[in-house]
Amino acid sequence: MKIIVTGGAGFIGGNFVHYMIKKYPEYDIICLDKLTYAGNLETLEPVMDNPKFKFVKGDIADREFVYKLFEEEKPDIIVNFAAESHVDRSISDPGIFLQTNIIGTGVLLDACREYGIKRYHQVSTDEVYGDLPLDRPDLFFTETTPLHTSSPYSASKASADLLVLAYHRTFKIPVTISRCSNNYGPYHFPEKLIPLMIANCLNDKPLPVYGKGENVRDWLYVEDHCHAIDLIIHDGKVGEVYNIGGHNERTNLQVVETIIDALGKSRDLIQYVTDRPGHDMRYAIDPTKIHNELGWEPETKFDEGIKRTIDWYLNNKPWWEKIISGEYQNYYEKMYSGR
Ligand SMILES: NC(=O)c1ccc[n+]([C@@H]2O[C@H](COP(=O)([O-])OP(=O)(O)OC[C@H]3O[C@@H](n4cnc5c(N)ncnc54)[C@H](O)[C@@H]3O)[C@@H](O)[C@H]2O)c1
How far, in Å, from the CA of 124 to the mean position of ligand 1?
Answer: 10
The residue contributing the CA closest to ligand 1 atom 22 is 10
**If residue 114 lies in a helix (H) or strand (E), which one and from where to where?**
helix 105-115
Q: How many CA atoms, within 13 angstroms, populate the side-chain half-sphere of residue 290?
A: 29
Decide: 128 in ligand 1 pocket, CB within 6 A: no
Per the DSSP assignment, residues forming a β-bridge with 122 are: 80, 177
Q: What pLDDT, in 10s, does the model give residues 225-235?
A: 999 999 999 99
Closest CA to 19 of 3, 41, 32, 39: 3
The DSSP annotation for 182-204 comes to -EESTT--TTSHHHHHHHHHHTT
Concatenate the DSSP letters of all residues of 37-76 into one string: TT--GGGGGGGTT-TTEEEEE--TT-HHHHHHHHHHH--S
| pLDDT reported for residue 335 | 64
Q: How far is the CA of 224 from the centre of ligand 1 (A)?
A: 17
CB burial class (10 A; 0-12, 13-18, 19+) of residue 329? Answer: middle
Does residue 105's CB lie within 6 angstroms of at least one atom of ligand 1? no
**Would you state the pLDDT for residue 174?**
98
The pLDDT value recorded for residue 330 is: 77
- Note the pLDDT of residue 149: 97
User: What pLDDT was estimated at residue 336?
Assistant: 63
Q: What is residue 41's predicted lDDT score, i.e. its pLDDT?
A: 95
Phi, psi angles (nearest 5°) of residue 216: -105, 135
Residue 98's pLDDT is: 98
Q: What is the DSSP letter of 101?
A: I
pLDDT in the model for residue 214: 95
Of 279, 285, 213, 224, whose CA–CA distance to 249 is shortest? 285
pLDDT value for 331: 66
Whole-number Å distance between alpha carbons of 85 and 43? 17
Instruction: Give the integer Cα–Cα distance in Å for 287 and 113.
Output: 31
Low-confidence ranges of the chain (pLDDT < 70): 331, 335-339
Domains of the chain (ranges; CATH) run 2-188+220-248+278-302 (3.40.50.720)
Ligand 1: centre distance to CA 229 (Å): 15
Closest CA to ligand 1's atom 7: 125
pLDDT at res. 333:
72
> What are the strands, taking DSSP E only, across the chain?
2-6, 28-33, 53-57, 77-80, 119-125, 175-180, 183-184, 207-210, 216-218, 220-221, 240-244, 249-251, 270-273
61 C-beta closer than 6 A to ligand 1: yes
2 pairs with which residues across the strands?
28
Count of other CB atoms within 10 angstroms of residue 137:
12
